[in-house]
Amino acid sequence: MTLSSTALTPNLRGALWMLVSAVGFTAMTTLIKFLGPGYPAALQTFYRQLAGVIVLLPLIARDWRGAFRTTRPGILIFRSSAGVLALIMGFYAYQKLPLADANALSFTRTLWLVPLAAFVLREPIGPLRIGAALVGFLGVLIMLRPGSVGMGAWIGWPQACALASAFLFALTITGMKVMTRDHSPFVLLVYAAVLGLVFAIPPALFVWKWPTWPDLGLLAAMGVIGTFTQGAYIKGMEAGEAAVMAPIDYTRLVFAVGAGFLLFHEVPKPAVIAGAAIVVASTLFISWREHQRSKRVQDTTAQPA
């Protein structure tokens, strides 16, 4: 039996898309970790971007002028370069850290959005959002366990790269908010894919390695799954309410724990679980506050003069 999409509520349709995105993201990061010993993060990023461009080519071919129409190429170039750097560092973190740890640290991008919204977008942020962000970063410290093994040992390059990647992704999201005022999501996606491929070539050349045919298939699958995951996430956020969809995105942490345990024999440490719970709770609160603020703005705008 099949269930017509018209019989599903918007939030339920969005929830299903978000679950598909979470499963796809887990599959992609599992391939990143599996291929990590033979293919550095910069090389994996190149194949990820190449697959994304190939997937988008049929859509670009329909209207290539419209796909590349922009009035602010500088911001798009900056956003794409930051995105590639974020991917490289994020891939490195997934290769070196347990999947649960890397996923938990990736959620800090919502925390970084709070100061970026204030300083870049000039959005007003109240004490509750600031307090939630500070509590979230406290959760990060708990995950990293400062002081337990000495200040120089408790955070290494993988943890630092995971946090830096989350910050850069938050920066690209902030740039997207600016660009969506006069650019369609498809144009932004095309530029992120094409310029991302261009920026991914130089670092990939430094660690270049021709893959075997089986590995090439896995690298291609990783790239296609990554592009599909991004599309499923966008569909989910479009279909349902943001405040309802945000909690569902955190199911990928559950999937990551399962994949890490079954495939790589990883068992999350209590500090990681506790810290991740604090980060998730604080980011959910920030997302809810942002949703409430947007609703108030819409209601005020909709009122007759």
Alpha-carbon torsion (156, 31, 90, 133), positive or negative: negative
**pLDDT (average), residues 212-224:** 92
**Residue 182: its pLDDT value, please?**
79
Query: What letter does residue 97 receive in the DSSP assignment?
Result: S
pLDDT, tens digit, 9 for 90 and up, residues 184-209: 878 888 898 999 999 999 999 999 99
Comparing 6 with 276, which gets the higher pLDDT?
276
**Residue 72: its pLDDT value, please?**
85
pLDDT, tens digit, 9 for 90 and up, residues 53-97: 998 999 899 988 888 988 888 889 998 999 999 999 999 999 999
**Residue 188: its pLDDT value, please?**
84
pLDDT at 142 over 80: yes
**Residue 3: its pLDDT value, please?**
44
The amino acid present at 165, given as its one-letter code, is: S
What residue ranges do the domains of the chain occupy?
11-296
**Residue 200: its pLDDT value, please?**
96
Quote the CA–CA distance of 229 and 280 in Å, as a whole number.
21
**Residue 14: its pLDDT value, please?**
85
**Residue 149: its pLDDT value, please?**
46
pLDDT at 298 over 80: no
**Residue 184: its pLDDT value, please?**
81
pLDDT at 1 over 70: no
**Residue 297: its pLDDT value, please?**
59
Comparing 302 with 253, which gets the higher pLDDT?
253
Comparing 147 with 259, which gets the higher pLDDT?
259
- The secondary structure of 38-72 as a DSSP string is TS-HHHHHHHHHHHHHHHHHHHHHH-HHHHT--S-
Yes or no: say if 277 and 130 are a contact pair by the CB < 8 Å rule: no
* For the chain, percent of residues with pLDDT exceeding 90: 39
286: its two tokens = 């920030």
How many CB atoms neighbour CB 300 within 10 A? Answer: 8
Q: Which range (128-132, 212-216, 236-240) has the least confidence? A: 236-240
- pLDDT confidence tier of residue 300, bands split at 50, 70 and 90: low
CA-to-CA dists, residue 250 to 15, 21, 90, 107, 255, angstroms: 12, 11, 17, 8, 9
CA 92 to centroid of chain Cα atoms = 14
Mean pLDDT value across the chain: 84
Query: What letter does residue 212 receive in the DSSP assignment?
Result: P
Yes or no: say if 6 and 221 are a contact pair by the CB < 8 Å rule: no
Angle between helices 109-119 and 157-179 (to 10 degrees): 50
